[in-house]
Amino acid sequence: MIICLRFFIFLCCICTNLSASPHVDFESKVLPSIALVESNKNSIKQDQNQSTSFGSGFFVKENGLLLTAFHVVKNASEVIIHHDNQKYSAHLLNSWAQHDVALLKVDGDSFPFLQFSPLCKTRLGQKVSICGFPFSISYTFNTGSIAAILTKSTDFLSKKLLLDVYISPGHSGSPVIDSQGTVIAICTHVMKSKSEYRGYGVASPINILTNIAELLHFH
């Protein structure tokens, strides 16, 4: 009886550790790679000041390569990356405007970074997580699933993922993380009504970004 009880307690401990491990992995492997992206743009009109917008981003290589949403840094005169209580300058290295994704080179090195999913496969109902900086205040960690895989080819929703994860302005550029802690997509838009502060997420899968592997290899 005592042996059976000890064995039951042992199994409970294993199950507890297994259920907690995704959270531990998230804190140690995902969070350190997330950054706040500040984009400053000169006003076209001389009587207006410089405009500033914010988004999210994540490092994909330790030498400072970072992915974000293209509309966050489009036409920016200055891009500043806020990471680990430090500020870094960055410049645009490549973009996939049709998918609203941009690759930046951040001045610095030895950054923690996220890995792409080896297969980059997505399926309906797949559980995902996102992490970013809504309203540029502090990071949030939200979970949900893939609600739809859009296949239209005539608009900006072509080949996009629709996520039933509530996201807000500022989440643009956040990574979409699978259960293994690897990146399968990047958040690009929020689908919401004018009266709402948050809505459903639209994301571009990593596997539709042509030559991304070559860019990461040669830079």
pLDDT tens, position by position, 21-64: 344 467 788 999 999 999 998 766 655 677 899 999 999 999 99
Strands (E), 18-160: 34-41, 51-59, 65-69, 78-83, 86-96, 101-106, 127-132, 140-149
C-alpha to C-alpha distance for 171 and 38, rounded to whole angstroms: 12
CATH classification code of 127-208: 2.40.10.10
CATH classification code of 32-113: 2.40.10.10
C-alpha to C-alpha distance for 90 and 55, rounded to whole angstroms: 14
pTM above 0.85, yes or no: no
C-alpha to C-alpha distance for 215 and 110, rounded to whole angstroms: 18
Query: Could you tell me which of 162, 167, 164 has the C-alpha nearest to residue 149?
Result: 162
Q: Is the pLDDT of residue 94 over 80?
A: yes
User: Is there a contact between 130 and 157 (Cβ–Cβ < 8 Å)?
Assistant: no
How confident is the model at residue 134, as a pLDDT?
87
Burial class of 204 by CB neighbour count within 10 A (0 to 12, 13 to 18, 19+):
buried
Ranges of CATH 2.40.10.10 domains, the chain: 32-113, 127-208
Per cent of the chain over pLDDT 70 is 79
Q: Is 59 left (phi over 0), alpha (psi -120 to 50) or beta?
A: beta
C-alpha to C-alpha distance for 206 and 99, rounded to whole angstroms: 10
The whole-number average pLDDT for the span 136-153 is 83
C-alpha to C-alpha distance for 197 and 177, rounded to whole angstroms: 23
| Average pLDDT over the chain, rounded to an integer | 82
